[in-house]
Structures are given as structure tokens and as C-alpha cells.
């Protein structure tokens, strides 16, 4: 795993941004080539992080990192190792970063921790957020697992936690949190209603011979979309996003 925490710049005044991107990609290609030379069969991972210690790091978040890999033809060689706290530093959430990587089947491994959201730095707290662990494990299940990756507790006890027991309790509580998240995610997927509701929201893009299906397939022009919009029933209200229903159903599994 190549941590991106120092791959960035402090000042644009002394930085050739394009050259640094090219050089960074060249280095990653060297790493991939060397892995082939020595017969390494594990994953090669990048870990997005927007800052600390650099002022601006090139692997800012999951989407930025995936775009960089696409640009330099490295997508097939690298997956992402994600940390929830890095997502919040980038203005997202741990759930957002996990979904961004999972949507491209590039979720490689997880640094299982959480952060103090009121602070602007990486606090590396042991994971206790059942909603976060449930969402992460739902993505892991739907991707077919993380192998050969896994969960890594990149976490530490708090400064006031001075007893040896605190360290054991932190690890045990973190493992229990993700075990409960896995069980909750598996039950939610088996139940089926959550994923069915998501599918229903996008059903218009899958209906046979519909303008939605033609648009999703890249076959509809902008003019055709305009005609379809004019001919649509102006009196029919747009379908509800049902966010509150989704939240209620998700919480029923995550906090059961």
C-alpha cells in the first residue's frame, strides 16, 4: 500500500504541477513493473488523503485518485485503500468514499477507524459507528469481498486512555462494530427491500424502448430529450426520492 500522504505540494509557486503528475505516474508504473518482476501477486493500493502533511495532496479523494489512474493507464494495476477520516478531511464522508470506489469495483482494503468530525485533522479513533460499518460492509458484500485486502485498524487510543485494558477494549469494540455491520448489511441485502427501492428509483432508465433506456445506452440526442420533456405529463409530480424511507429502513437494520 502506497500511502499518498506526502505526494503533493506545499506551494504552487515552486511547483511544476504537470511534471509532478507525470513523475508520480512514472513511479507507480515502476512499482507495478517491479511487482511483476518479483512475482508479487497481491494488490497494489493507493490511499487517498487530501492534506496532512502536505498542504495539497494529489490523491485528494477516491474520485481524484481513480481519475489519475485512468489518465495514466494504471486503473488495472491499482485499487484503493480507504480511511473514513480521510473522506471527511476531503469534505465527504466515509460512506461516500467507499461507494465511489465500490462503484468502479476498485475497493481494495479498508482502514477501519472513525474521526472526531468537529476537528480538521486525522484523529484515527477506533470505529464505533454502526451506520458507517453497515454501509461499508454492504459495499464489500456487493463487490464480492475485499480479498486479498481486508480490514486494518489504523487506530489508536485517546491520550486520556492510559491503561492497557483501553487498548484491548478499543480493538475488540472495533471488531464487534464491523462484525455487527457485516451481519446488518447481509440481513439488509437478503431482505431485499432496500435494493429494490433503489432499483425502482432508476426503473425509467431500464424500461424497454423508453427514452430513459435510450439515454442510458447513449442513443438519445439532446433534441430527443427536449421533445420527451415537452410531451411528458406536466401535471404528474416527479417521483419522490423517499430519502426518509431509505433512512428509516437502513437504520432498522444497522441499529437492530
CA distance 19 to 50: 19
149 and 209 inside one domain: no
- The pLDDT tens digits of the residues spanning 23-36 come to 999 999 999 999 99
CA distance 249 to 256: 11
Q: Do the domain assignments include residue 198?
A: no
pTM equals: 0.91
Say if residue 170 is exposed, middle or buried (CB neighbours under 10 Å; 0-12, 13-18, 19+): buried
47 and 164 inside one domain: yes
Say if residue 242 is exposed, middle or buried (CB neighbours under 10 Å; 0-12, 13-18, 19+): middle
Q: Do the domain assignments include residue 174?
A: yes
100 and 57 inside one domain: yes
16 and 129 inside one domain: yes
Domain limits for position 211:
205-256
72 and 185 inside one domain: yes
Q: Do the domain assignments include residue 196?
A: no
Cell 468502479 sits on residue? 104
Q: Is the pLDDT of residue 4 over 80?
A: no
Average pLDDT rounded to a whole number, residues 6-11: 86
209 and 111 inside one domain: no
Say if residue 93 is exposed, middle or buried (CB neighbours under 10 Å; 0-12, 13-18, 19+): middle
Q: Do the domain assignments include residue 221?
A: yes
Q: Is the pLDDT of residue 5 over 70?
A: no
Q: Provide CB contacts within 8 A for 40, sequence distance 6+.
A: 34
38 and 164 inside one domain: yes
Helix (H) or strand (E) holding 46: strand 44-47
Q: Do the domain assignments include residue 43?
A: yes
184 and 212 inside one domain: no
Q: Is the pLDDT of residue 121 over 90?
A: no
224 and 183 inside one domain: no
Count structural domains, the chain.
2
The mean pLDDT value of the chain amounts to 93
State the CATH number of the domain containing residue 104: 3.20.20.150
- The pLDDT tens digits of the residues spanning 173-198 come to 999 999 999 999 999 999 999 999 99
The number of beta carbons lying within 10 Å of the beta carbon of residue 112 is 25
219 and 142 inside one domain: no
What is the Cβ-side half-sphere exposure of residue 72, based on CA atoms within 13 angstroms? 21
- Of 162, 191, 220, which marks where a domain is finished? 191
Q: Do the domain assignments include residue 217?
A: yes
Q: Do the domain assignments include residue 200?
A: no
CA distance 183 to 17: 45
Average pLDDT rounded to a whole number, residues 205-217: 92
Q: Provide CB contacts within 8 A for 83, sequence distance 6+.
A: 47, 49, 94, 110, 111, 113, 122, 154
- Of 191, 213, 236, which marks where a domain is finished? 191
212 and 141 inside one domain: no
63 and 102 inside one domain: yes
Say if residue 6 is exposed, middle or buried (CB neighbours under 10 Å; 0-12, 13-18, 19+): exposed
- Of 136, 162, 191, which marks where a domain is finished? 191
- The pLDDT tens digits of the residues spanning 17-76 come to 999 999 999 999 999 999 999 999 999 999 999 988 788 899 999 999 999 999 999 999
Between residues 182 and 9, the one the model is more confident about: 182
Q: Do the domain assignments include residue 199?
A: no
pLDDT value of residue 14: 95
Coarse DSSP helix, strand, coil percentages of the chain, rounded to the nearest 5 percent: 50, 10, 40
- The pLDDT tens digits of the residues spanning 140-171 come to 999 999 988 899 998 999 999 999 999 999 99
Amino acid at each position: 500500500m502506497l500511502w499518498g500522504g506526502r505526494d503533493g505540494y506545499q506551494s504552487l509557486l515552486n511547483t511544476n504541477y504537470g511534471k509532478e503528475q507525470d513523475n508520480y505516474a512514472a513511479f507507480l508504473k515502476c512499482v507495478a513493473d517491479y511487482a511483476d518482476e518479483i512475482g508479487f501477486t497481491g494488490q497494489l493500493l493507493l490511499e487517498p488523503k487530501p492534506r496532512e502533511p502536505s498542504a495539497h495532496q494529489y490523491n485528494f479523494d477516491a474520485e481524484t485518485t481513480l481519475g489519475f489512474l485512468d489518465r495514466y493507464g494504471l486503473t488495472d494495476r491499482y485499487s484503493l485503500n480507504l480511511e473514513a477520516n480521510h473522506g471527511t478531511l476531503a469534505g465527504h464522508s466515509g460512506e461516500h468514499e467507499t461507494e465511489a470506489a465500490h462503484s468502479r469495483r476498485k475497493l481494495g482494503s479498508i482502514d477501519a477507524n472513525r474521526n472526531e468530525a468537529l476537528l480538521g485533522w486525522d484523529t484515527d479513533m477506533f470505529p464505533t459507528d454502526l451506520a458507517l460499518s453497515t454501509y461499508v460492509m454492504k459495499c464489500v458484500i456487493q463487490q464480492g469481498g475485499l480479498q486479498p485486502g481486508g480490514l486494518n485498524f489504523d487506530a489508536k487510543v485517546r491520550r486520556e486512555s492510559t491503561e492497557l485494558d483501553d487498548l484491548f477494549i478499543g480493538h475488540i469494540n472495533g471488531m464487534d462494530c464491523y462484525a455487527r455491520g457485516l451481519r446488518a448489511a447481509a440481513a439488509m441485502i437478503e431482505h431485499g427491500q432496500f435494493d429494490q427501492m433503489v432499483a425502482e428509483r432508476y426503473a425509467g432508465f431500464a424500461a424497454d424502448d423508453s427514452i430513459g433506456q435510450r439515454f442510458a445506452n447513449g442513443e438519445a440526442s439532446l433534441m430527443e430529450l427536449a421533445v420527451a420533456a415537452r410531451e411528458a405529463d406536466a401535471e404528474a409530480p416527479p417521483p419522490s426520492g423517499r430519502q426518509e424511507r431509505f433512512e428509516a429502513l437502513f437504520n432498522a437494520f444497522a441499529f437492530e
